[in-house]
Amino acid sequence: MPAPAKTRVLVVDDSAIVRKVLSDILNSQPDLDVVGTAPDPFVARDKILSLAPDVLTLDIEMPRMDGLTFLDKLMVHHPLPVIVISSLTQSSTGKAMEALSRGAVDVLAKPGGPYSVGDLREDLPRRIRAAARSRPARPHPQAPAAAPPVKLQAGSIPPKRIVAIGASTGGTQAIEKVLKSLSGDVPPIVITQHIPDGPKVCYKRPSVDVLFHSVAQAAGSCASAALLTGMGSDGAEGMLAMLRAGARTVAQDEDSSVVFGMPREAIRLGAAQVVAPLDRVAAALFDAAR
């Protein structure tokens, strides 16, 4: 039986040292293969066409063209899973959110401060594997139209009702779509989205489980929860706690998820009452509020 094909990775960064560090980390894994590196987007463009990588790692600050501009062009002409790895994502949450909104499936910080090379060595290979299984996120200008807004009548929501939403890879656009589909009188909404940085809880920064457990304890049956696209299992146990406390729970389905990790685990645990495509998540959340 032939060996499974390795995930092919192209590393794009203007620093030769960073390219070597990333390449060494990835090539140490038996299922990953750095097929090439590029110092800027123009070289990267040619290597994407000639090497056909499965996943791209991309810096933001580079000569000749910045990474975000290149990301825009890539998502239009040759979409593939992109993980942004940049020091700017650690110093600026806005840059991380912008990269995700433009189509990156994940964001990682370069080592520095509390985030070490050891942390990157632990995080990067599994992020690459998850990205290889993902669908490239579509940038906002080409995002599909949202479902008709959920109409909520004034007074239909108990004063203490609260909605909790958790997401990771692909989550920024998913969360935006859910929020844009709401109209009228909506309850308070609290959100956990994995982006750098913060204290690690359950290996995530921040943790959906922490949010869901706190909402279960504080609001009980007056709460609703949605667990959206993301890799790993964060949020599944917290959603189960919310269900046991009487909350309504919804998991995004596989077809509409960029990475079907967190929702899959919630479904496996029996924590999700409803499994819905992204454009029906809002309606499923608020069925109990009507």
Question: What pLDDT digit, counting tens, does each position of 210-259 carry?
Answer: 999 999 999 999 999 999 998 889 999 999 999 999 999 999 999 999 88
Domain annotation covers residue 179: yes
Query: Which tops the pLDDT comparison, 243 or 135?
Result: 243
Domain annotation covers residue 264: yes
Residues 57 and 102 placed together within one structural domain of the fold: yes
- Determine the residue type at 240: L
Residues 217 and 106 placed together within one structural domain of the fold: no
Domain annotation covers residue 217: yes
Which member of 86, 168, 224, 257 is catalytic? Answer: 168
C-alpha–C-alpha distance, residues 284 and 153, integer Å:
16
Q: What is the pTM of this model?
A: 0.68
pLDDT of residue 135: 67
Q: Which of 233, 226, 227, 176 is nearest to 204 (CA)?
A: 233
Domain extent, residue 72, equals 7-137
Residues 154 and 278 placed together within one structural domain of the fold: yes
Query: Is the predicted pLDDT of residue 271 greater than 60, yes or no?
Result: yes
Element (H, E) at 126: helix 117-133
Q: What's the mean pLDDT when you consider all of the chain? A: 85
Sheet bearing 7-12, strands edge to edge: 32-38, 7-12, 55-58, 82-86, 106-109
Q: Which residues pair with 275 in a beta bridge?
A: 251
Residues 181 and 237 placed together within one structural domain of the fold: yes
Residues 41-52: tens digit of each pLDDT: 999 999 999 999
- Give the residue from 74, 109, 137 where a domain finishes: 137
Q: Is 194 a residue of the active site? A: yes
Q: Is 234 a residue of the active site? A: yes
Q: How confident is the model at residue 139 (pLDDT cuts 50, 70, 90)?
A: low
Tokens of 72: 């825009």
Domain annotation covers residue 142: no
pLDDT of residue 195: 74
Burial grade of 221 (CB within 10 A; 0-12, 13-18, 19 or more): middle
Domains of the chain: total? 2
Q: How confident is the model at residue 141 (pLDDT cuts 50, 70, 90)?
A: very low
Write the CATH number for 235. 3.40.50.180
Domain annotation covers residue 143: no
Which member of 13, 59, 106, 194 is catalytic? Answer: 194
Q: How confident is the model at residue 142 (pLDDT cuts 50, 70, 90)?
A: very low
Residues 171 and 208 placed together within one structural domain of the fold: yes
Among 57-61, 101-105, 154-158, 269-273, which is the least confidently predicted range?
Answer: 154-158
- Determine the residue type at 127: R
Query: Which tops the pLDDT comparison, 231 or 1?
Result: 231
Which member of 234, 253, 256, 257 is catalytic? Answer: 234
Residues 198-224: tens digit of each pLDDT: 445 555 557 899 999 999 999 999 999
- Give the residue from 137, 163, 184 where a domain finishes: 137
- Give the residue from 113, 137, 161 where a domain finishes: 137
Burial 115-145, CB ≥16 within 10 A → b, else e: beeeebeebbbebbbbbbbbbbbbbeeeeee
Q: What percent of the chain clears pLDDT 70, i.e. is strictly above it?
A: 83
Residues 32 and 87 placed together within one structural domain of the fold: yes
Q: Is 253 a residue of the active site? A: no
Residues 110 and 69 placed together within one structural domain of the fold: yes
Domain annotation covers residue 1: no
Domain annotation covers residue 235: yes
Residues 187 and 241 placed together within one structural domain of the fold: yes
pLDDT of residue 24: 97
Query: Is the predicted pLDDT of residue 151 greater than 70, yes or no?
Result: no
Residues 182 and 272 placed together within one structural domain of the fold: yes
